[in-house]
Structure 1
């Protein structure tokens, strides 16, 4: 596809418009195309030619009848319309010419507004990433891989604390950057390392979409992660990705798929040399979730028992992969409680979830909110209305601190279960606190 000329680049005022920025972050191409048409005079037929799309497809996107989700299409839009990669969650595009280190002064042809001058400072080519890219060597070292792994660990920490929605553009950009590095000739150890990093970034991206309940996009990235891990025969990581997909299937009310996916995960783990008992314990617990969603009481209890047996065999010197270290004793206990809760065994679930919640790290806002709503639901099932409302009330603060549609979904489920008790003082107090802390959940509707 021929590159559009520089004279047809989008105006600075459009690229820095908050509405355009928001539309790009959300990948709402209907709004993007409409703004490009009205603000830059680039009509749908021209958009189609630039982005290698059919005019009818562009029209469907503008009318809201079609979404564009595939990465190759998003990259074509970025390149065709000259939308900087970072605005769409992509790596820096090759056409984003770095600024020269020496600047030739010139007389401005027309005076720019002070606002435009300030906003232009944030355009591609003048940001720190672009400057660093100029100085960066393409020869990678083990320390480079270590730095990338460290950034992934930081992403996961921030995901627990704040949610992944705001992180996603940076994660996707880094993923595409690593994919780009894989296109160059590398030594086998370096290539394997990059494949592993790319697989982790793809799984993290899928997880952020899963947590946002955007299941189609999540599955696409999980599948990409699976392929990247398969390319280097990393069966343990393939098992990890399949386990994530199994958990998503439970949320989509597809328990049969959940069971099939976790069975495939366990097959991959058995095929891997040196799979650790912590990994096997985590997979057994995911199997318990699948059986519990199906209502298979005996199979759920068997899988829970296997998870605890494997966990009891963990040794301090086991070579656990970094991605499974989150599965500690607290996680084992709370997941056991949740598995019993999914079966409706509230009396078994309540003390386990309560115990784990007391141990939960204060900065893990999603975990604290998520598990507190599970505890409140089990308490309500046991007729403990006052305790349930108190627990749910305490969950509102961490829920407000994180962007997670999964957590919001558990809040809605608890709120709906309160319906028979709506006039009770404890329920009234909870709803009052809910309106105070999370007004968006209840504004305009009696339900969140």
Structure 2
């Protein structure tokens, strides 16, 4: 006998942050989707009735003996279970809020709950100063305990999907900062459909920029360019937000530079600088901050990859000069970039001078990503160890790295094998 059947649309709302559900939608594997719904309490009788098929046909789909192929049946499934059309490659469904694909008025976003905004700001502030490695578990718990239950509450409205998207993206960044890039990619993949469901296209574009960044970090400039392009397309459908557009153009420039496309990378970087100087139509409470210091940091990386070291040096020094002391991790990354540029220019004395500042700054910063970049920096300096000042600096460097590794030992162990708690 079938179990007591839950409301299908509420069950679906609770699955919009579930990678298994999202994968089933991407692959148009309706058998897997039906199994998930059934596992969550929607009876087979109700599933079959909702999509107007026999239970025998439903069992064929669920057991993998056949697949849904007809467009009309995909549409019936989307409408029966309130699956947003874009998840199945369909047009926006009639029941979806109009804001899912447009913003007619500048500055129109789903209402932001004050408690949600305060929680996000608190997590973001702590992350900037201490790194995300030790905050990841807290954000995931907050998502599970405070946010996920509200996704199935129809009284919450669209705002809760934006909240879930922002915090899921934040969890992705913290996983990335902990050296768990696969886990970070999973969070980013879940965040994007949540943002689109909320109707907040600038937020969706911001998450696309994060996916572009992660693709660059993992050595996939083609994917990075794809996500930057998608983000620019999404951003173009909403109000003009200078910082968002600048960030996306900067990600595009970095992807093009990593791919060796010098002229196109320079054009994209020029577009980023122009965008940041253009007045915005609106502010946005959820987006990742991106300011002149951020753009200077990205510009330094673009110029470095293009082997334009004098320009890279200018941007790297500007990034450090503009960066607030409270942004410990950003300062660390900017100093690592600057040391590397000095080394690539052959100015070893300058590299050591900035390198000493780097080792003195924020020794307890909880970021595995900083450790990995320091490792890369050491490999860059090793060929010059015959030079006594470099050799002495590397000895001090190794002592500092050992101290940092001891402080992050539990996190590094988790990133190499275990599931984070």
Conserved? CA contact 1:284–1:307, under 8 Å: yes
Residue 440 of structure 1 deviates from its aligned partner by: 4.8
Residue 399 of structure 1 deviates from its aligned partner by: 5.3
Residue 266 of structure 1 deviates from its aligned partner by: 1.0
CA RMSD of aligned residues (A): 2.2
Task: Provide closer, same or farther for how the CA distance between residues 412 and 193 of structure 1 changes in structure 2, counting only shifts above 3 A.
Answer: same
Q: CA offsets per residue over residues 339-364 of structure 1, 9 Å max, x none?
A: 11122211110021112202211121
2:257 equivalent among 287, 292, 299 = 292
Conserved? CA contact 1:200–1:225, under 8 Å: yes
Conserved? CA contact 1:297–1:343, under 8 Å: yes
Conserved? CA contact 1:278–1:314, under 8 Å: no
Do residues 185 (structure 1) and 165 (structure 2) align? no
1:208 equivalent among 174, 182, 185 = 174
Task: Provide closer, same or farther for how the CA distance between residues 200 and 352 of structure 1 changes in structure 2, counting only shifts above 3 A.
Answer: same
| Structure 1 segment 362-401 matched on structure 2, within 5 A | 362-398=325-361, 400-401=363-364
Q: Matches of 2:274 and 2:373 in 1, distance apart?
A: 30
Q: CA offsets per residue over residues 18-45 of structure 1, 9 Å max, x none?
A: xxxxxxxxxxxxxxxxxxxxxxxxxxxx
- The SS at the match of 1:172 is helix
Equivalent residue, structure 1, for 2:293: 330
Equivalent residue, structure 1, for 2:313: 350
Q: Matches of 2:177 and 2:211 in 1, distance apart?
A: 12
Q: Matches of 2:221 and 2:307 in 1, distance apart?
A: 16
- The SS at the match of 2:321 is helix
Q: CA offsets per residue over residues 259-315 of structure 1, 9 Å max, x none?
A: 11111111111122x131221111111101111111111011000110111111125
Conserved? CA contact 1:226–1:241, under 8 Å: yes
Q: Matches of 1:144 and 1:371 in 2, distance apart?
A: 33
Q: Matches of 1:323 and 1:393 in 2, distance apart?
A: 36
Task: Provide closer, same or farther for how the CA distance between residues 441 and 160 of structure 1 changes in structure 2, counting only shifts above 3 A.
Answer: closer
Larger radius of gyration: 1
Do residues 157 (structure 1) and 120 (structure 2) align? no
Equivalent residue, structure 1, for 2:246: 281
Q: Matches of 1:442 and 1:191 in 2, distance apart?
A: 44
Conserved? CA contact 2:364–2:404, under 8 Å: no
Equivalent residue, structure 1, for 2:96: none
Task: Provide closer, same or farther for how the CA distance between residues 290 and 437 of structure 1 changes in structure 2, counting only shifts above 3 A.
Answer: same
| Structure 1 segment 83-94 matched on structure 2, within 5 A | none
Task: Provide closer, same or farther for how the CA distance between residues 245 and 386 of structure 1 changes in structure 2, counting only shifts above 3 A.
Answer: same
- Of structures 1 and 2, the one scoring higher in RCO (CA 8 A, sep 6+) is 2
Q: Matches of 1:299 and 1:312 in 2, distance apart?
A: 20
- The SS at the match of 2:236 is helix
Q: CA offsets per residue over residues 46-98 of structure 1, 9 Å max, x none?
A: xxxxxxxxxxxxxxxxxxxxxxxxxx9xxx9xxxxxxxxxxxxxxxxxxxxxx
Q: Give 5+ residue unaligned stretches, structure 2.
A: 1-35, 41-109, 407-421
Q: Which of structure 1's runs of 4+ aligned residues deviate more than 6 A?
A: none
Task: Provide closer, same or farther for how the CA distance between residues 345 and 232 of structure 1 changes in structure 2, counting only shifts above 3 A.
Answer: same
| Structure 1 segment 41-440 matched on structure 2, within 5 A | 145-176=113-144, 177-186=146-155, 190-272=156-238, 274-314=239-279, 318-324=281-287, 326-398=289-361, 400-440=363-403
Residue 433 of structure 1 deviates from its aligned partner by: 2.2
Residue 401 of structure 1 deviates from its aligned partner by: 2.5
Q: Matches of 2:348 and 2:161 in 1, distance apart?
A: 51
Conserved? CA contact 2:206–2:288, under 8 Å: no
Equivalent residue, structure 1, for 2:79: none
Task: Provide closer, same or farther for how the CA distance between residues 181 and 442 of structure 1 changes in structure 2, counting only shifts above 3 A.
Answer: closer
Give the alignment's TM-score, normalised by structure 2: 0.67
Equivalent residue, structure 1, for 2:105: none
Conserved? CA contact 2:371–2:401, under 8 Å: no
Task: Provide closer, same or farther for how the CA distance between residues 380 and 228 of structure 1 changes in structure 2, counting only shifts above 3 A.
Answer: same
Q: Matches of 2:117 and 2:245 in 1, distance apart?
A: 23
Residue 325 of structure 1 deviates from its aligned partner by: 6.2
Task: Provide closer, same or farther for how the CA distance between residues 441 and 154 of structure 1 changes in structure 2, counting only shifts above 3 A.
Answer: closer
